[in-house]
Each structure stands twice: as structure tokens, then as C-alpha cells.
Structure 1
Amino acid sequence: MKKLALVWMLLQAFQGASAQTAKWDSTFRPNNYDLKKELFRSFKNSEKDVVFLGNSITANVDWSELLQMKEARNRGISGDITFGVLERLDEVIEGKPAKVFILIGINDISRNIPDSIIAENHRKIVARIKKGSPKTKIYLETLLPVNNTFTQFKNHYNKDEHIQYVNERLKETAKAYGAVLIDLHPYFQDSEGKLKKEFTEDGLHLKAAGYKLWADILKKGNYLK
């Protein structure tokens, strides 16, 4: 009986730990979220705008400088998740931009938001843009790989199967909604499937070389014309 009781206690502890790691919060917003929302709304919109929408990977570069394109607009917020993008999407839609490039989801994965929920949010983002601004051309970009040989962003590492799942759903969403799929992921991975070290200094974010590659992909694919 004592052994059975011990097994039951261990099982309960394991289930409790599993439940704890599975918790996720759709209401999380990064500290600078409200400020960025306010700033974005204060900027003038134009139907010629080319909007880059996402998290820190998008936010960390001046797109107009990188692409030498005066119409490029940065709508990235460091730490943002798909729920945050949905909350601030009206500001993008109201401007009726010419193009929207979307890269979002790796922070959702790091926060244990279920893959299916991330995929559903991607569908909602695309559907809302198409409804609110039918002439806007939508580009869905696959999530980049990460590199677990670094140590700074441990919650983002070792989630390759989640990244793969979300990327496969992105391809399906692009096809179903008539969006353009830009498969960035293969360009950035090494032979082991990790984010190439020459493109990152922390295993998650990009260095200048990574942004140059990204820009080259967009230019050579004629996605900016």
C-alpha cells in the first residue's frame, strides 16, 4: 500500500508539473507595447505603405534603410505575440497599405501557446486584413530557426518541432487565403537545422548579415515590386 501511495504521489506531482508548463497567457503584452501602439497610430498612413509587421526580429532594423525603400514601415514590437498583433491590427488595416509582410509566432512558442492556437491566429490576421483592406497584398513569412548553442533565450530554444508545425500551417494558410508564402526558414538554417551562427549573436535575433540575407530574399523574389 505504501508503494502504491508513493507511486500515486509521484504521478500527481508529474501531472502537476506538466499542467504548470502547459499554462499560457493570451493577455501578455511587452512593456513597450502601449507606447509603440500609440506611436504607430500617430504616424501618417498611405496606400503606398509597405508594412513589416511582427516582433523584435522585425523591430530591430530600419526597413526603409535596409531596403532603400521610402514606403517601408516598421510595425514590429519587441516581445510581441500573435494576440498582440491581432489587438493592434486595426491601425495597419486603416491605412490600406499596398503590402504587409508578417513574421510573428516565435514568442508564442516560447510562452507555451499551443501550436494550433498560433496557426488559428495567423488565419485570423490574414482574414481580417483581407476583409478590411482587400487590395493589400499579404506576405506570410515562415518562422526562422533558432540556435540552442547560445544561452540568452532558453525558452526559445529546443522548440524545433513547434516551429516546423507552425511553418507548415503558414503554408496552408497562405494557400487557403490567397496570401504569398515566403519560406525564409531554409535560408537561415545550418546543416543541423539551427540558425546559422554568422546570422545571429544570441541564437534568436539577427545580426546585420542576417538582415542583408532577408533583404536579398525579398529583392530576388520580386516581392517588393
Structure 2
Amino acid sequence: MNRFVLALAALLPLTAQSMDLDTGKPAKGWQIAVTDFEGEAKLTGDSVTVPKPANPRVPNSHVAARRGSDGALTLQFSNTWIAQLRWQDGTPLDLNPYLAHGTVEFDLNVVDLAHGGMKFKLGCGKDCERKVPFLFAGRELAGKGRQHLSFALTCFWREGDDFSAVNVPFTLEGTGSGELQISHLRFNKTGKATTACPDYRTQSVTPEPLQESWAVEWWLPRHEQKLAEVKAHREAGRRVDLVFMGDSITQGWENEGKQVWAEHFAKYNAVALGFGGDRTENLLWRLQHGELDGMAPKAVVMMIGTNNTGERLEDPALTVAGIRKNLDEIRQRQPQAKVLLLALFPRGEKPDDLLRRHNARINALLPALADGRQVVFLDIGKALTNPDGTLSKDILPDWLHLSPAGYDIWARSLEPTLTSWLTP
């Protein structure tokens, strides 16, 4: 907590020592919205099931909620991208006086989370949402009955946030399949935090495996497969001259970009080290656990960071710190390699899309990481967009991931630089 927030909390008038969101006191009118990726319903009675749209993208998903006689709320979900219990529509809360020493506390009963994940969220105004991941910690609580959790309110606060009119004070979010029960939700002006949370200031540079329910079953096995792929090249006497490192867009070379890869990069015994969902800290973990070892590439192409934006709308400077950390790791492990540092690709259909604008702020900081010799910065965003800045579904069908035509544009955009680096 910085001195400004402490001083602000001391100057603001005293409020109630706690806000009980189970009953809506002292802020009345709170409603519980139950949502999944494609729909929403209000829990106005004892139970509700989120209705499916006419043409659902996830037809076998199911999200429902019920209210127990003791006031506890149960969220049941299966095969869903996102399921939520969301507190909304009440009088916005002024949580600034709670920041210095305050906590958000509740009782949580994890009935089942073997094939799911969970997060806690707090809305902090327009285009502002803060979250605390709780996948592995949540699974450890499964079957243990009600457990009291207390988070420092600063777990949900970032420098510059204004908590004076919080209109979505809490969201319980599940992914995959599971059953969660929550009760006695309240904010305390003075409390003792008993549950740890990540430090947002160092998240992007702290190596860790990807902690998402949809990834835990394949992420580490894929890491092992990539180590084996590199080993197979080495044992066969094949020199790996080119390596791509990144997230799902890089992983897509194995799918939508497969044919383009074969035409442009297979001749270099190239390896694609892309993992869907990865943020800077996840790539850093992979680098520190051997993915770039056992070979001596001439060139490394790296693009990482768009999931730092999409997952937590991270301060661009923090994302760039994570990119810099990965770059330093590559340079340390492969000092002979030249690195092509790519700007993040455009995302969102229109130029004014929030995530597009956020990525543009990251890209503006990236040239400072390149020296123009061993590390070269390249931005191919204009090649992927229409003249008016919009995106085409022919190139980026979901406004994020590339089509085969998009991979062809990417490959051709890299060709002049990589050919000069890789041609004897």
C-alpha cells in the first residue's frame, strides 16, 4: 500500500465497519446475476438456470445457481468457458476508506473442482476489473466443507484505481465443471488477511506454469513433448536454426499455419514453442525449464504479451517488463542467436477496441528493448489490418487468431529478415 492511499484513507470520513453483501446492508438493492459465456439470468427466487441462446457456441454447457435456506449461494457449472455469480445493480460502494486495512471475507465450500477452476473478481469502474486466481488453492479445499477466506482488499487494487463507486463489488467465477458454495460475503474496514494473492507488480516476471483449468491437463505434457522434439532433432544430427516462442498464435503454426510452415520454415528444422493462453510469466517458466536448451539456433522469433492484456489488462509497463525478462533469458541461453522481437498483433475488430488500444501502448514501448543488431524489433500489424484499421475475418476470424491466409502474411513479412539471418 503506498503512502497516498494510506493518507487518503485517513482523510475520508468514517464509514460502517463492514458491508454485508449477503443482505445488501448498508448498500441496498444488490442482485445476483448468474452468467455463462452466452447468457445471463437473475437469481430472484430459490434457483435459476442460465438459458441457452438459439444457436449456442457451447451447446453442452450448463450453468445454474440456487439459494439455500441459510442464505448460502451455490454455483453449479459444467463444460463452460465462464460461469459467474455476480453482485450488481446496487448502490455503488465507496471502498476507498477500506483500502488501507480492509478485507473482503466469505465462507467458501468447494464441493467439486476436479475438472474446473475458479477466480474472484472485483469491478472497479468502466473497463476495469481486478481478479485473484484460485485454481490450485481451490482444488485443495475440495471436500473440506466450509472454509473462511479473507483477502486484503489491496489484492484487487492497482496503482491509480478509483474505488469510490464500485458497481460490481464481487464476482465468483468458475470455468470448466464444478460446484462452489459461498456465504457470509462482506467487506471489513479493518481485517486480517489469511489468504495470499499474487503481487500484480511482479506477476509478469515471476515464472510459473499456466494456471487455467482448461490448460492444466495438457500444458506440462506439451512442455515435455517439446523437450522431446528438440532432443529428437539433436539425436538425428539435425541443426535447429530457427525457433518461434509465444502463445496460441505461435502454437497455431501447428494447425492453421501448418502448410505455410512447411513451405517457409521446415527447411530450417524450425521449432514452434507456442502454448495457448501463455502470458509472459508462463513463457519465462518454460525457458527456465529447458525449452531453449540443447540446440544453437541462429534466430529466435518471439511474440508474447497479448494474454497479459486479455487476462488482466495489465499496465503496459509491467507487460514490457515481462517481455524484457524473457528477452534477457533468451540472450543468456542462446547468445549467438539473433532475436526478432515482434510487436503484438492487432486484436479486436475495430481500432478503438479496448484491447487493441492496450496492446498498442505495449508496442510503443517495445522498440526500446531492441538494439537493431542482436535484437531487432518488427511490427507487421499494418499487413494484418484493412486500410481503415479494422480487421478482416479472412485474416483473423475471431479478431485474435490467424487464419491460414493470416499465417501466410506473417511468414512473408518475416522472410526478408530471416532469410538474411539464416542464409549461409
With normalisation by structure 1, the TM-score equals: 0.81
Deviations 1:8-66 (A, max 9, x none): x6242799521881336545435121111111112225553311111111111237414
Relative to structure 1, is the Cα distance of residues 105 and 191 closer, same or farther in structure 2, using a 3 angstrom cutoff? Answer: same
AA partner of residue 190 (structure 1):
N
Residue 73 of structure 1 corresponds to 271
Structure 1 SS opposite 2:349: coil
Deviations 1:85-123 (A, max 9, x none): 000013243233221101111111001133222100111
AA partner of residue 368 (structure 2):
E
Candidates 242, 246, 250, aligned match of 1:54 = 246
Relative to structure 1, is the Cα distance of residues 186 and 98 closer, same or farther in structure 2, using a 3 angstrom cutoff? Answer: same
CA distance in 1, matches of 2:359, 2:365: 10
> Does 2:311 correspond to 1:111?
yes
Structure 2 SS opposite 1:22: strand
Deviations 1:132-189 (A, max 9, x none): 221011110111111337xxxxxxx631221111111221112389411121212112
> Does 2:227 correspond to 1:145?
no
Residue 152 of structure 1 corresponds to none
Relative to structure 1, is the Cα distance of residues 85 and 177 closer, same or farther in structure 2, using a 3 angstrom cutoff? Answer: farther
Structure 2 SS opposite 1:125: helix
The unaligned stretches of length 5 or more in structure 1 are: 150-156
Residue 17 of structure 1 corresponds to 123
Residue 42 of structure 1 corresponds to 228
Residue 125 of structure 1 corresponds to 326
Relative to structure 1, is the Cα distance of residues 176 and 210 closer, same or farther in structure 2, using a 3 angstrom cutoff? Answer: closer
Larger Rg: 2
With normalisation by structure 2, the TM-score equals: 0.45
Relative to structure 1, is the Cα distance of residues 105 and 64 closer, same or farther in structure 2, using a 3 angstrom cutoff? Answer: same
Please say if residues 100 and 138 of structure 1, whose CA atoms lie closer than 8 Å, have aligned partners that are also in contact.
Answer: yes
CA distance in 1, matches of 2:211, 2:282: 7
AA partner of residue 145 (structure 1):
P
> Does 2:356 correspond to 1:160?
yes
CA RMSD of the aligned region, Å?
2.8
- C-alpha displacement of 1:196: 2.9
CA distance in 2, matches of 1:181, 1:48: 22
AA partner of residue 21 (structure 1):
E
Q: Which moves more between the two structures, 84-93 or 190-199?
A: 190-199
Structure 2 SS opposite 1:79: coil
By relative contact order (CA 8 Å, sep 6+), the higher-ranking structure is 1
CA distance in 2, matches of 1:168, 1:92: 29
Residue 216 of structure 1 corresponds to 412
Higher strand share: 2
Relative to structure 1, is the Cα distance of residues 76 and 199 closer, same or farther in structure 2, using a 3 angstrom cutoff? Answer: same
Residue 281 of structure 2 corresponds to 83
Relative to structure 1, is the Cα distance of residues 106 and 24 closer, same or farther in structure 2, using a 3 angstrom cutoff? Answer: farther
Residue 153 of structure 1 corresponds to none
Instruction: Name the count of aligned residue pairs.
Output: 212
- C-alpha displacement of 1:84: 0.6
Please say if residues 197 and 203 of structure 1, whose CA atoms lie closer than 8 Å, have aligned partners that are also in contact.
Answer: yes
